[in-house]
Structure 1
Amino acid sequence: MSGSPAKRAAGVTDQDAEQLAALGYSSNFERSMSLWENFSLGFTYLSPVVGVYTLFGLCLAAGGPPMFWSYLLIGLGQLLVCLIFGEIVSQFPISGGVYPWARRLVGKRWAWMVGWVYAWALCATIAGVSVGAGPYLAALLGFEPSADVSIYIALVLILVSTGLNLVGTKLLARVAMFGFLCELIGAILVGGYLLIFERHQSFSVLFDTFDLGSNGSYLPAFLAASLAGLFQYYGFEACGDVAEETPNPGKRIPKAMRMTIYIGGAAAMFACLALILSVPDMHKVLNGEDTDPVSTILANAFGPVGSRLVMAVVLVSFISCVLSLQAAASRLLFAYARDEMIVGSRVLQRLSANHVPSTALVVSGVVPAAIVCLGLFMADATATIVGFAAIGIYVAFQLIVIAALIARAKGWVPGGQFTLGPWGTLVNVGALIYGLGAIVNMVWPRSPDAPWYINYSMILTTVVVLGAGWLYMLLAKPYDKGTAPAGDAHRISGRQRSERAAGALTEPA
């Protein structure tokens, strides 16, 4: 395309609007998010620092140093899911991500359930990440954290995130980019320093199981420790949640998704490696004497002042993570409302003067705040609900993976700028096998001495969310109100093949 950069950008925007119109929608979002800003949104949602630092002590005690390899194996499994998502978003670059994808691949009811599960999972994740920031802020400011203080900190963090998101897409993109740079540079500098000056373990420790496991098998311990990786590798789907705010989304978003897996996964593995090799006494961690090895490592390496600076970087990661999560949740609610799939659709689909779904943003702040507040009255309530966060997102992911297989069986051939070609079905099946295995691993009861409702909390919350959604869907039939296109992916493919064939017949010899 010739002409000035401004004219070229306007031409791309016009093409994006035409593609969206062909899919049955018009949009007033501001398409100002670059490839790297879109990637940053997914990266800060995935947040390697938040994921690694939060679960490091728990998973190291469960599986020992070889838990490091779970990051690589799970990253490869999630890459399969990412590739399938890339094919879908490339053809259907619509705000809201998994919900509109499910709508076009299978139909209204399937889409409604995907959106229901994913919305609750996002709200639970926002609540969990916000509460998780409490101990780090306490360490930064030098006071003793408590459950109630963490709740108050979480509420303030959600309020700040909502305010920043309401300013507009440009600020969201800039904060996400700032969070990405802080997190990546911080992970490299801290990890590099630990590896060079504070290494207490040899690389061979990554293969030392320390006789963990049961009945002579290390596998159960490794599967328990792999929760670190399972809670780490999602966030790439957020790149697609803002598809209508990104120029040339059919090409850029699949690339941004893959970058999230590559760069986010590499950063997480590097941070985990540095922490493992810097543990002063591995036996104390494995025996339960050192329950917070991250704090021990940072205090030994950087002293009181230095460790507080590291905590400041970690806190930035928490803030940018909540910001990205809330942006994803609000775009999902907006997409739901635009298709009249939810109560209050007229209000939730409105965009403010800043071109953001303001009411949806407020709701995506109020609901997580309510979940957080439950912790003031019921000690285990927040933990139980937050336990649904990861499993809910994995369930929503697999509903999309299954939807893609159903659509392929009906004749859908991905027609976007990114496709897997003849490998598509094989990758799709691989993504399903991996995802189902991951879900079983996450819900597997591992505390036989704990009360049943704690031991089976993930299964319980999943059944409650799915059951409530199914019941509401059957009684209220919210999926019947909108008239937006649904279940037409295979028909679009058939029409495209017919048009290509007709073009070939009319082409001059």
Structure 2
Amino acid sequence: MSDHSAQDAQELARFGYKQEMDRRTGKFASFAVAFAFVSIATGIFTTFGSVLNTSGPMGIWTWPIATIGQLAVAFLLGGLAARIPVTGYHYQWCSRLANPVLGWILGWISFTFLAIVVVAVDYTVASTVFPVLFNFEGTANNCWVVTGLIILAQAVLIAVSTKATERVNNTAVSLELIGMVVLTVLLFIVAAARGMTDFSNLTSKGVVPAEGYWSFGELTSAGPWMLGFLLGAFTIVGFESAANLAEETNDPETVVPRAMWQAVAASGGLGFLFIVAVTLAIKDPVALAQSGTPIADVIQDTLGGFISTLLLVLVSIAIFACGLVIMLTGVRLTWAMSRDERFPGWQVLHRIHPTYRTPLAATVFFMVLAEAVLAIFSQDTDVLFTLFGAATLLPAIMYASTVTLYIVKRNKLPHSDKFDLGAWEMPLIVVAVIWLVFELLLFRDASFADAWKYVLVMMAIGAVYLAYLLVSKGVHGLSMPDMHSIDAELDNE
């Protein structure tokens, strides 16, 4: 073990844990984890069609606002990651900021999010990309089988080698960054050279009626312009996944917060340039709204079939990496909660495999759960919207809860020499609060009814197990190892 790794291990011991996994994650790998989870190629390819139908092409202007809001959240969560560099992210942060009961609830919400979003992401490539790329019919059964195989492949990679998993992800992220930059530049240049650039698209409402467009909606409905924010709200999430590898990262107090905000900034900037380039090249916004693959259609019309095929290959790689990182994050959270003896089956799930140096049992468990969720939704014709609805709602709840606790406890947090927001802290808090309140208001729309049902069912299951924990161990039995809260740490210093 290097001197730096030994120092990180000593830092971890302050939180009551021993070093069990190898520390090999560096700066780019940490950034790649955060960027792959966000995955602008995945998010934009998946949700652009929905935005065309709910807000029209003009809905893309919500993206910069969502980016700014999520960037503020990323900075605040980075402040927690620098002070609590422990695997388990929201679960650890809230357990130590507030109390272990609330921390468990946030941990369970995070777990339910990861369990649903990995299926949603992998189902996307099976239902909208592979059928076009390999010319087969995307029936419900076909999509079920293909998605199941993708989940299995990701699980095997994570179970066998963290090093190999990071190499695959690093390569995929590098390709995504290069590919998105090249595609964006080509779209701007070729569309302009061929006279295909239409600036009126930037203010077009497309299939959405102009009347009532700027309305805030009713009690159970959001206005058309508001629904455009779902493009950014769905895509720019999961950046804090880098914090879930804190115990495998070298100098996590410095590396993880930086990876989080840089991933949001890079995704937001590059993503916006890409969607502007795509929007400018749209021939007919009304007709395009009927397509299941609007991004691919614009690329094909502008750059030709060969480039369109390359796009689909790029999106496939990005989606696989996105699902890979989501599963990696879910496995680490399962392991972290099991290590504290507060997850069903913790007796087995907390173990690290002696040869692979990975949480093998937790990986198998998460894979089986993902396959079960896939089977439940496999015959649902609206499966993608249901899954993505839940996958957008849950992180909004997670972020709002954790940011609220940050605000309440910020004056009691120990000083961090490695990531200090300084005078920017209060402006960032204001931006984050405004954004999160607005984002949560989006989910009153009736179209998210099924997403709320999933959330409520999973919360009910979690409530039953939490009740069991409280009855069997009591509140004090759920205390964090050697450190009940940030306040307790301060008292001991």
Fraction of identical pairs, as percent: 23
Q: Shift of the alpha carbon at 1:377?
A: 4.8
| Equivalent residue in structure 2 for 1:13, among 5, 15, 18 | 5
- Aligned partner letter, 2:402: I
CA distance in 2, matches of 1:443, 1:62: 15
Q: Shift of the alpha carbon at 1:292?
A: 3.6
Q: For the pair shown, which has the larger CA radius of gyration, 1 or 2?
A: 1
Q: Shift of the alpha carbon at 1:36?
A: 0.6
Quick check: 1:258 aligned with 2:261? Answer: yes
Q: 1:148 to 1:42 in 2, by over 3 A?
A: same
Q: Which residue number corresponds to residue 397 of structure 2?
A: 395
| Equivalent residue in structure 1 for 2:107, among 105, 108, 115 | 115
CA distance in 2, matches of 1:485, 1:271: 48
Quick check: 1:205 aligned with 2:201? Answer: yes
Matches within 5 A, 1:5-404: 10-134=2-126, 135-199=128-192, 200-203=196-199, 205-209=201-205, 212-215=209-212, 217=214, 220-285=223-288, 288-290=289-291, 292-352=293-353, 353-380=355-382, 383-404=385-406
Q: 1:444 to 1:416 in 2, by over 3 A?
A: farther
CA distance in 2, matches of 1:108, 1:292: 44
- Aligned partner letter, 1:283: V
- For residues 255-284 of structure 1, what are the alpha-carbon distances to aligned partners after superposition, in whole Å with 9 as ceiling and x for unaligned? 111110111112211221121112111232
In the alignment, is the contact (CA less than 8 A) between 1:32 and 1:169 conserved in 2?
A: no
In the alignment, is the contact (CA less than 8 A) between 2:16 and 2:483 conserved in 1?
A: no
In the alignment, is the contact (CA less than 8 A) between 1:81 and 1:431 conserved in 2?
A: yes
In the alignment, is the contact (CA less than 8 A) between 2:348 and 2:361 conserved in 1?
A: yes
Q: 1:113 to 1:344 in 2, by over 3 A?
A: same
Select between 118-127 and 366-375 the one with higher mean Cα deviation: 366-375
- Aligned partner letter, 2:489: I
Aligned partner of residue 101 in structure 2, secondary structure: helix
- For residues 21-47 of structure 1, what are the alpha-carbon distances to aligned partners after superposition, in whole Å with 9 as ceiling and x for unaligned? 112111221111110111001111110
Aligned partner of residue 30 in structure 1, secondary structure: coil
Select between 483-492 and 103-112 the one with higher mean Cα deviation: 483-492
In the alignment, is the contact (CA less than 8 A) between 2:296 and 2:312 conserved in 1?
A: no
Quick check: 1:489 aligned with 2:486? Answer: yes
In the alignment, is the contact (CA less than 8 A) between 2:45 and 2:293 conserved in 1?
A: no
Matches within 5 A, 1:424-503: 424-445=425-446, 456-477=449-470, 480-481=477-478, 484-496=481-493
- Aligned partner letter, 2:336: A
- Aligned partner letter, 1:373: A
Aligned partner of residue 393 in structure 1, secondary structure: helix
Unaligned runs of 5+ in 2: 217-222
Q: 1:439 to 1:166 in 2, by over 3 A?
A: same
In the alignment, is the contact (CA less than 8 A) between 2:190 and 2:303 conserved in 1?
A: no
- Aligned partner letter, 1:178: T
Query: Cα RMSD between the aligned structures?
Result: 2.3
Q: Which residue number corresponds to residue 419 of structure 2?
A: 418
Q: Shift of the alpha carbon at 1:147?
A: 2.1
- Aligned partner letter, 1:424: E
In the alignment, is the contact (CA less than 8 A) between 2:82 and 2:256 conserved in 1?
A: yes
- Aligned partner letter, 2:156: G
Unaligned runs of 5+ in 1: 1-8, 447-454, 497-509
Q: Shift of the alpha carbon at 1:150?
A: 1.3
Q: Shift of the alpha carbon at 1:202?
A: 3.4
Aligned partner of residue 443 in structure 2, secondary structure: helix
- Aligned partner letter, 2:330: A
- For residues 91-122 of structure 1, what are the alpha-carbon distances to aligned partners after superposition, in whole Å with 9 as ceiling and x for unaligned? 11001211111111111101100111110110
- For residues 38-72 of structure 1, what are the alpha-carbon distances to aligned partners after superposition, in whole Å with 9 as ceiling and x for unaligned? 10011111100000011111202322222222111
CA distance in 2, matches of 1:234, 1:328: 13
